[in-house]
Amino acid sequence: MQPNMSPAKPRPADNNSHGLYGQDILSVKQFTPPVLDYIFSVSEEMRTLVERFGSADLLQGKIMTNLFYEPSTRTSSSFMAAMQRLGGQVIPINSVQYSSVSKGESLADTVRTLECYADVIVIRHYEAGAAAEAAHWASKPIINAGDGVGEHPTQALLDAYTIQRELGRIDDLTVGMLGDLRFGRTVHSLTRLLLNRNVTFRFISPRLLRMPEEIRDEVTEADGTFTEHEDLEEVIGEVDVLYVTRVQKERFTDLGDYEKVKGAYIISPETLTRARQEMVVMHPLPRVGEITYEVDNDPRAAYFRQMQNGLYIRMALLATVLGRA
């Protein structure tokens, strides 16, 4: 692996008050409150644009490569849709086994190849730090679309945007995160994004799947508050957000351990009878049984709206990084 962060990429001085023009998007740590507000407001504009016109030509002449070493439905297709709705083009490498990666080509050579053809590379990889490594080699912007158990910054942006839209704020909330907090990169990113927002975190998981120490330390260092629970009942009545996650089977080295913890929590309409009326249930999806289909009709179930929001957030990000927002 190469050094963690790439040197800052050259960027023009204008059109860049947010500092993201021409830059890599590797971690939520890049999103200070004003930058987050900026992305939210561009996302609102993108929503209006899609609702009124379907598409625009903002990114006409630009090309995005989707380079996915791990499976994806929402992230991959929403990035593609985002680019196409803004008039750009896409090189989709969603099955790396059919690319030269299967011939043993390194990540460094793969990204140096693809940046000859594209203006931005969206990468998903099974190894934490891989997006940063790609960024080290590339001179074009790299967007991290999930790196192993590391981060999933664009998911956290759309999660925070969803909370903002659903509850009117992302500050002063009690946020419950439930399920696989150990391997779930979405909860790692979302926790980091909500630091310094006066959020009280309730981490609910089997012992085996506790939130990593590194993230718990970051909460403490930011003077944040968290408690850990195995029993959802201890906190279900107080959370403003219940962020449910899938147990990440593909990350277990011992499938016996997976068997012990899979199905640890199942959210049903009955569970929600003890939740507040003014709260939301979220999930990055895919779900594999953690939330029953009957919950979908509950107005508090925000996960389909959440994935729709991913389109607007990714349109906003692409337009910003490519200097056309």
Q: Which residues bind ligand ASP (CB under 6 A)?
A: 146, 152, 185-186, 246, 248, 284
In the bound complex, what is the minimum distance in angstroms from residue 248's beta carbon to ligand ASP?
6
**Sheet containing 241-244, strands listed edge to edge, beginning at the edge strand earlier in sequence:** 225-229, 200-204, 174-178, 241-244, 280-282
- Alpha-carbon torsion, ordered 155, 156, 159, 165, to 10 deg: -120
- Cβ closest to ligand ASP, residue 216 vs residue 246: 246
Q: How far apart are CA 95 and CA 230, in angstroms?
A: 38
In the bound complex, what is the minimum distance in angstroms from residue 122's beta carbon to ligand ASP?
13
**Preceding omega of 7 cis (within 30 degrees of 0):** no
Tell me how crowded residue 30 is: count the other CB atoms within 10 A of its CB. 15
Task: Give the side-chain half-sphere CA count within 13 A for 208.
Answer: 15
Nearest to 39 by CA among 315, 316, 310, 319: 316
In the bound complex, what is the minimum distance in angstroms from residue 251's beta carbon to ligand ASP?
10
Cα angle for residues 242, 243, 249 (degrees, 5° grid): 135
Contact 145, 72 (CB under 8 A): yes
- Cβ closest to ligand ASP, residue 22 vs residue 146: 146
- Cβ closest to ligand ASP, residue 189 vs residue 200: 189
In the bound complex, what is the minimum distance in angstroms from residue 318's beta carbon to ligand ASP?
19
Tokens of 94: 């969603």
Backbone angles phi, psi at 71, to 5 degrees: -60, 150
In the bound complex, what is the minimum distance in angstroms from residue 75's beta carbon to ligand ASP?
6
- Cβ closest to ligand ASP, residue 65 vs residue 306: 306
- Cβ closest to ligand ASP, residue 59 vs residue 160: 160
In the bound complex, what is the minimum distance in angstroms from residue 146's beta carbon to ligand ASP?
5
- Cβ closest to ligand ASP, residue 206 vs residue 284: 284
